[in-house]
Amino acid sequence: MAWKTQKVALASMTIPDADQARYHQPYYLQKVHLFAKRGKKFAYLTRQMVALLLDDLGYAILSQSGPVTLASTWEKLAHRFSFPEMNSAFQTLIDWQILASHPPVSQPSVEEETFIDEEAQNPPSEIWLSLANDCNLRCRYCSAGYGRFGGTRGLMTEKTAARAMDLLFPEDPAKQKRDFANIIFVGGEPLMNYPVMAFAVDYAKRKAGKANRRISFHLNTNGTLLDEKFLQLFRENDFHVVFSIDGPPAIHDASRRFIDGEGSYRRVAANFSRFIQAVGKSRRAQAVLHYGSSLRETMTHLLDLGFEEVIPNPDYSSPLTSHNSAFDASALEEFAQQYDDWSVENVERILSRRWLHGNAHFLEDLRALHRRQPSRSSCGAGRSLAISAHGGIFPCQSTVETKPFQLGDLTRGVDLELRRKFIALIENLGNKCRGCWIVGACSRPCFQEAYSGGFLDDPEPTQRCKLYRSYFESAIYGYYLIDEAGCTELLD
């Protein structure tokens, strides 16, 4: 059942005066995150993934430190509230399991060697294929170093692609743990290698048919090389395409240029228009925002262009292109405020047009709150595998050609001990997140983010962790607005 925001109803309950034992009974705040936004006060229950709208008394009770008693609370708040109001509020908070007579129980860390060993031996259900360790653009912030990942250029061959996908479809059916398989085409720019993409699709479909497994294809592209042969391939197969486009022409062309320095916006916009007409589905964009640019301007432009969902991310530094981002801690706080402001406008658009569209991060969090289930899957690095154009095997796309994390190659196969160690590293990273209030919705940060941000060795959260927390608070407020409008069915 979908959750609903609930007001702590002080006057709706009739509870007799507490006896002396109840009056002095200590109560402990459970796993709850309190915050205020735009004049409203909320309590988010981490384990239940439930958010409650509080009144002033409920918020004041929960804002106390340490175990609280009705007696001590009465002493502090008697000048503002009556005892019957306070007694009723206490009972409501107890009924909602926000206050309990015992301290919150910590979840145990995951240290299951058997689980890690099994995961290391299981075939992946998802493969990232770097069809091209190369790119036709020279985006200033490119985290892949223009597709080369700090190594050499190259296009994947059919032989390499076939060997890579054989990892998805083991000969022994008993080793197949899932009834689906995902193939994600990346680069560099994967559209530089149409022959191998077409071969991989056909090869994977034949393999999946024999194994009786569902298969889907995903693609991240700059969109500049899209032509009729790709459109036909997308039409005939289950493709989920994400275009990289940063917003209006001047903003996009400031960073996303061809090798000769010409901006790429006009080509991308024209090709996306062709994509809509020919394919229709999967209208998703990924936008990188520069420091000082307007999130609202970027979002409205891309939505008006025909995209249904846009993934906005700040422009981060890239050691592979010597690009230094201007997004320091204060700039990220400013970005979080823009994100929050846009979230309110995003809800207004959803309600006026009666369909979900807008900020992809925001929509994922709204769905998570509505279903009380995480929408963002936990980091699959090491369980899924990424294959470079040269045949190297890595834990995920962001670690391609990063030698310290290489797990083998297609000639020798996967080194199970290296894979086991990496999965254990990921589980340890997840354990470090267990005290965070957003853990149920976020699960854990991207491994590459944690690695580059020093989170693997530092117990303190990264700046991006703080950013994601602010995202989720914006989603809670957005859900409140949708709930108040009586339109939560839009999230079903």
Predicted structure pTM score: 0.90
Whether residue 440 is predicted with pLDDT greater than 80 in this model: the reply is no
**DSSP collapsed to 3 states, 284-341:** EEEEEECCCCCHHHHHHHHHHHCCCEEEEEECCCECCCCECCCCCHHHHHHHHHHHHH
Task: Summarize pLDDT for 232-253 with one digit per residue, the tens.
Answer: 999 999 899 999 999 999 999 9
Confidence class of residue 155 from pLDDT cuts 50, 70 and 90? Answer: very high
* Residue 303 CB neighbours (<10 A): 19
State the chain's mean pLDDT as an integer. 88
Task: Summarize pLDDT for 274-313 with one digit per residue, the tens.
Answer: 999 999 888 999 999 988 899 999 999 999 999 999 999 9
The one-character DSSP state at 405 is G
For the chain, the farthest-separated pair of C-alpha atoms sits apart, in whole angstroms, at 81
Whether residue 434 is predicted with pLDDT greater than 50 in this model: the reply is yes
Instruction: Give the CA angle between residues 80, 85, 90 to the nearest 5°.
Output: 110
Domains 20-100 and 113-477 share a fold: no
Whether residue 178 is predicted with pLDDT greater than 50 in this model: the reply is yes
**Fold type of domain 113-477:** TIM Barrel (3.20.20)
Give CATH for domain 20-100.
Answer: 3.90.930
Q: Where are the domains of the chain?
A: 20-100, 113-477
Pairwise pLDDT comparison (175 vs 429), residue with the higher score? 429
Task: Summarize pLDDT for 305-350 with one digit per residue, the tens.
Answer: 999 999 999 998 887 888 888 888 899 999 999 999 999 999 999 9
User: What is the structure's pLDDT at 174?
Assistant: 67
* Residue 118 CB neighbours (<10 A): 13
Task: Summarize pLDDT for 50-81 with one digit per residue, the tens.
Answer: 999 999 999 999 999 889 999 889 889 989 99
User: What is the structure's pLDDT at 55?
Assistant: 94
